[in-house]
Amino acid sequence: MSVRTKIKHLPCTKSLHRISRLRHRHCHLNGNGNSIPAEDPHSLLKEDPLEILSNLWIKTFSQPQNPFTNLTGFLSKLDLWVLAYQRTYAHFTGSFPPRNALQSHVLSDLLSLRNTVIRGNFLWHTKIRQIIRGPNEVPITDQLSRRQLQSILTSKTPPFQDFVVQQALLMIFEPIFEPRFSSKSHAFRPGRNPHTVIRTIRSNFAGYLWFLKADISEVLDNVDVDVVMASLEKAIKDKKVLSLVKSGLKASRQGEGDEDEKDSRKRKKGQTKKRILNENEPRPDPYWLRTFFDFAPQEAAKIPNYGGCGILSPLLANVCLNELDHMMEQKTVEFFRPCERDTIWKYSMDDGCHNPAWPEFVPSSGKDKTRKMDFIRYGGHFLVGIRGPRQDAVETRKEIIEFCEKILGVRLDNSKIEIEHISRGIQFLDHIICRRVIYPTLRYTASGGNIVSENGVGTLLSVSASLQQCIRQFRKLKLVKGDRDPEPLPCTPMLYSGQAHTNSQMNKFLETMADWFRYADNRRKVVGFCAYVVRSSLAKLYAARYRLKSRAKVYKIASRDLSRPLREHTNNSAPEYSDLLRMGLVDAIEGVQFSHMSSIPSCDYTPFPRNWIPDHEKVLHEYINLQEPKVFYQLHKSVKQHGICLPQDEISHIVWQYKTLGVRSLSQKLCGDKGMENAYEKVMVASS
Amino acid making up residue 440? P
The pLDDT tens digits for 102-122 are 999 999 999 999 999 999 999
Q: Distance between alpha carbon 146 and the CA centroid of its chain, in Å? A: 41
Question: Alpha-carbon distance 342 to 203, whole Å?
Answer: 19
The stretch 71-92 carries a mean pLDDT of 93
Q: How confident is the model at residue 279 (pLDDT cuts 50, 70, 90)?
A: low
Q: How confident is the model at residue 330 (pLDDT cuts 50, 70, 90)?
A: very high
Residues 6+ apart with CB under 8 A from 123: 247
Q: How confident is the model at residue 4 (pLDDT cuts 50, 70, 90)?
A: very low
Strand segments, DSSP code E, in 6-113 are 27-29, 35-37
Checking if the pLDDT of 587 tops 90, the result is: no
Question: Alpha-carbon distance 382 to 124, whole Å?
Answer: 33
The stretch 133-153 carries a mean pLDDT of 74
Q: What is the pLDDT of residue 391?
A: 93
Nearest to 134 by CA among 99, 166, 162: 162
Checking if the pLDDT of 392 tops 50, the result is: yes
Q: Which of 418-427, 527-536, 576-585 has the lowest mean pLDDT?
A: 576-585
Q: How confident is the model at residue 374 (pLDDT cuts 50, 70, 90)?
A: very high
CA distances from 21 to 124, 311, 559, 600 (A): 21, 32, 71, 66
Higher per-residue pLDDT: 280 or 355: 280
Q: What is the pLDDT of residue 666?
A: 52
Checking if the pLDDT of 636 tops 80, the result is: no
Q: Which of 42-46, 292-296, 583-587 has the lowest mean pLDDT?
A: 583-587
Q: Which of 115-119, 193-197, 226-230, 640-644 has the lowest mean pLDDT?
A: 640-644
The helix (run of H) or strand (run of E) holding residue 436 is strand 431-438
Q: What is the pLDDT of residue 628?
A: 84
The stretch 600-613 carries a mean pLDDT of 91
Highest mean pLDDT of the ranges 194-208, 255-269, 270-284:
194-208
Q: What is the pLDDT of residue 136?
A: 77
Give the CB-side neighbour count of residue 173, counting CA atoms within 13 A: 27
Nearest to 61 by CA among 181, 223, 225, 162: 181
Phi, psi of 552 (to 5 degrees): -60, -40
Number of residues written out for the chain: 688
Question: Alpha-carbon distance 546 to 540, whole Å?
Answer: 10
Please state the pTM of the whole predicted model: 0.81
Question: Alpha-carbon distance 165 to 307, whole Å?
Answer: 14
Checking if the pLDDT of 553 tops 50, the result is: yes
The helix (run of H) or strand (run of E) holding residue 370 is none
Strand segments, DSSP code E, in 169-222 are 210-215
Q: What is the pLDDT of residue 507?
A: 93
3 state DSSP class of 215: strand
Q: How confident is the model at residue 482 (pLDDT cuts 50, 70, 90)?
A: confident
Checking if the pLDDT of 403 tops 60, the result is: yes
Higher per-residue pLDDT: 632 or 566: 566
The pLDDT tens digits for 674-684 are 544 554 455 45
